[in-house]
Structure 1
Amino acid sequence: IKMPLYAHYEVQYIWLIDPAKRMLEAYRLDAGAWIEIGRFADTDQVAVPPFEAVSLDLGALWEPRRPVLV
């Protein structure tokens, strides 16, 4: 829902973060269309535009996994 609105206002980059899937998707705006620039998950170390000067440990974003009881 938000991506078309962001494109309308010419926001150049968006990150979509899904804590349940432990995933980050990054997009950049190119001629009015969103282009995926990366999909990262779990404990990936990422440097994603427009903040590529900073390395981010995705594992630090998520709650620790709970052990499965059998």
Structure 2
Amino acid sequence: MISGSEIRKGITIELDNKLYQVIDYQHVKMKRTALARLKLRDIRDGHTIEQTFQSSEKFIRARLDYRSTQYLYNDG
């Protein structure tokens, strides 16, 4: 698990049982609390959302394995 202050652009997190890639990260300090403003892209369908979290909030970092694949099709 990582905290909101450890999140960086490009990492993948799990939120509400969905995988999101962090597109943009802004650390905002308001009065007494620090906030993390995130722009996230859903890995499955490509939708982007913007969320604001407290910097102390914890997230599950997702591990992704990338593989090169080759698809073979039968003509006919």
Going by fraction, where is helix more abundant, 1 or 2?
Answer: 1
TM-score (norm 1): 0.30
Computing the radius of gyration over CA atoms, which structure comes out larger, 1 or 2?
Answer: 2
Q: Normalized per residue, which structure has more strand?
A: 2
